[in-house]
């Protein structure tokens, strides 16, 4: 389905109305680190859990360029909310891009409706960026696989019900990625939830660990029904996640900028509003430029994704720049607000706590630089 500018405008207007409605409750939910069940139910009703899932399977089928704008708007109000549906959609994308037709018809309608929600489950206690070092294994047993291991830092793990689970079906293979597979893994016997993890920021959203103890899955749940392609399937879906995280970065950077513009006109020192001091003007100019540059990079990556192009370099650039913009803008907003920025009565300290996650999640920014450099060399051989 093709979306024109008018259709996109209607969708974004609906998101704006939703955000006006929920904004008054965000500060307290954040302070209480409380899962926003009512807000999640509203997002489900709006169809956000099926935002980029093909309409053939019950989703909205939005272009990623439109989806990124939705993420930016929501992150500008409360970044945590974007993790609830983004992590879920990465899981869905792994099925939509690489699953069999039977798998798509079985699982995608459940994901699109929000009846089943979850995430991509990659990270383990001793393994994050280096995914080939995972220890979770799946051993074939007749028509099933028996899985043992653990995962941590998984968004939606407490309130979710299904995960795209990265395992090793052949731990002896070298290179390791050739022995890795990705499974559709609903909660069930042998799926043991661990503790909710306490975090600096990204409050409200459930992030936890879980353990797999002789957890049995049908062989039909192996995405693509072929072993050995799990890392490629996970990374293929992560391109969407990186564009999302980049859009979140714009949201946080924009929120920091908007609050700073407003505050700088209200706060006076030495007989005039601080926005008239050159030092503050320089901060505001740099903050605004970062937001606009990040927005252009994200739209470039999203457009490439929509075309079906390989876009790991574009997504990496967008993720790197936009999340660093969030880091810089949140820090500068804190300086502009002074002591009030340090107070929990204002939102600025939340931006400052949320931004570091974006520089780490969906592949650290150090990793993005390596991805970008490798693509530059590959595309420009001597």
Query: Measured between alpha carbons, how far is 189 from 259 in angstroms, rounded to an integer?
Result: 48
Query: Measured between alpha carbons, how far is 181 from 176 in angstroms, rounded to an integer?
Result: 11
What is the predicted pLDDT for the residue at 130?
86
Q: How confident is the model at residue 2 (pLDDT cuts 50, 70, 90)?
A: low
Q: How confident is the model at residue 16 (pLDDT cuts 50, 70, 90)?
A: very high
Tell whether omega for the bond before 175 is within 30 degrees of 0, i.e. cis. yes
Share of the chain above pLDDT 90, in %: 92
Tokens of 7: 């259709």
Domains of the chain: 5-113 (1.10.540.10), 118-228 (2.40.110.10), 232-379 (1.20.140.10)
Give the active site residue among 72, 209, 332, 362: 362
Write out the E strands in the chain: 118-121, 137-141, 144-155, 162-168, 180-186, 191-196, 207-218, 268-269, 272-273
Q: What is the DSSP string of 256-292?
A: HHHHHHHHHHH-EETTEEGGGSHHHHHHHHHHHHHHH
Arithmetic mean of pLDDT over the chain: 95
Q: Which whole-number Å values give the CA distances from 319 to 152, 228, 268, in the listed order?
A: 22, 28, 36
What is the predicted pLDDT for the residue at 230?
96
Res. 30: pLDDT tops 70: yes
Res. 4: pLDDT tops 80: no
What is the predicted pLDDT for the residue at 39?
96
Average pLDDT of the residues in 7-13 = 92
Which of these, 322, 319, 325, 312, lies nearest to 372 by C-alpha position?
312
> What phi and psi, each to the nearest 5 degrees, are found at residue 124?
-125, 165
| 125-160 pLDDT tens trace | 988 888 999 999 999 999 999 999 999 999 999 999
Res. 351: pLDDT tops 80: yes
Which of these, 218, 234, 109, 85, lies nearest to 160 by C-alpha position?
85
Helices 64-98 and 5-32: crossing angle, nearest 10°? Answer: 80
Q: Which whole-number Å values give the CA distances from 105 to 12, 56, 102, 356, in the listed order?
A: 29, 9, 5, 38
Burial class from Cβ neighbours inside 10 Å (0-12, 13-18, 19+) for residue 245 reads buried
What is the predicted pLDDT for the residue at 327?
98
For residue 56, the Cα-to-chain-centroid distance in whole angstroms is 24
What is the predicted pLDDT for the residue at 222?
98
Share of the chain above pLDDT 70, in %: 99
Q: How confident is the model at residue 3 (pLDDT cuts 50, 70, 90)?
A: low
The SS3 call for residue 162 is: strand
Query: Measured between alpha carbons, how far is 85 from 79 in angstroms, rounded to an integer?
Result: 11
Residue 189 annotated to the active site: no
Which of these, 244, 247, 249, lies nearest to 328 by C-alpha position?
249
What is the predicted pLDDT for the residue at 128?
80
| 321-345 pLDDT tens trace | 999 999 999 999 999 999 999 999 9
pTM above 0.85, yes or no: yes
Sign of CA dihedral 317, 320, 322, 324: negative
Res. 190: pLDDT tops 70: yes
**Stated length of the chain:** 382
Query: Measured between alpha carbons, how far is 111 from 275 in angstroms, rounded to an integer?
Result: 47
| 193-244 pLDDT tens trace | 999 999 999 999 999 999 999 999 999 999 999 999 999 999 888 889 999 9
What is the predicted pLDDT for the residue at 236?
86
């Amino acid at each position: 389905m093709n979306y024109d500018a008018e259709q996109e405008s209607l969708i974004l207007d609906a998101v704006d109305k939703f955000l006006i409605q929920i904004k008054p409750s965000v500060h307290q939910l954040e302070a209480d680190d409380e899962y926003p069940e009512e807000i999640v139910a509203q997002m489900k009703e709006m169809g956000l859990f099926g935002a980029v899932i093909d309409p053939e399977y019950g989703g909205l089928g939005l272009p990623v360029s439109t989806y990124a704008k939705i993420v930016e708007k929501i992150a500008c109000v409360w970044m945590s909310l974007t993790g609830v549906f983004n992590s879920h959609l990465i899981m869905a994308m792994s099925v939509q891009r690489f699953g069999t037709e039977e798998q798509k018809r079985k699982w995608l309608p459940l994901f699109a409706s929000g009846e089943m929600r979850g995430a991509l489950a990659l990270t383990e206690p001793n393994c994050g960026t280096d995914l080939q070092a995972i220890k979770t294994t799946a051993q074939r047993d007749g028509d099933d696989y028996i899985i043992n291991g653990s995962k941590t830092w998984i968004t939606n793990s407490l309130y979710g019900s299904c995960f795209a689970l990265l395992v090793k079906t052949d731990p002896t293979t070298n290179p390791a990625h050739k022995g890795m597979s990705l499974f559709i893994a609903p909660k069930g016997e042998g799926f043991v939830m661990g503790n909710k993890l306490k975090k600096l920021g990204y409050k409200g959203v459930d992030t936890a660990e879980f353990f797999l103890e002789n957890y049995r899955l049908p062989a039909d749940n192996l995405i693509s029904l072929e072993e050995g392609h799990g890392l490629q399937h996970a990374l293929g879906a992560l391109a969407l996640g990186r564009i999302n995280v980049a859009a979140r970065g714009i949201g946080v950077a924009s929120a920091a900028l908007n609050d700073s513009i407003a505050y700088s006109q209200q706060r006076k020192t030495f007989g005039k509003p601080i926005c008239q001091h050159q030092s503050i003007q320089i901060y505001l100019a740099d903050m605004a430029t970062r937001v606009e540059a990040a927005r252009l990079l994200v739209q470039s990556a999203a457009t490439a994704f929509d075309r079906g192009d390989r876009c790991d370099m574009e997504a990496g650039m967008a993720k790197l720049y936009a999340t660093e913009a969030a880091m810089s803008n949140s820090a500068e907003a804190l300086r502009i607000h002074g002591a009030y920025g340090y107070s929990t009565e204002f939102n600025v300290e939340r931006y400052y706590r949320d931004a570091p996650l974006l520089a780490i999640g969906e592949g650290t920014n150090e990793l993005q630089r390596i991805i970008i450099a490798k693509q530059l060399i590959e595309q420009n051989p001597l």
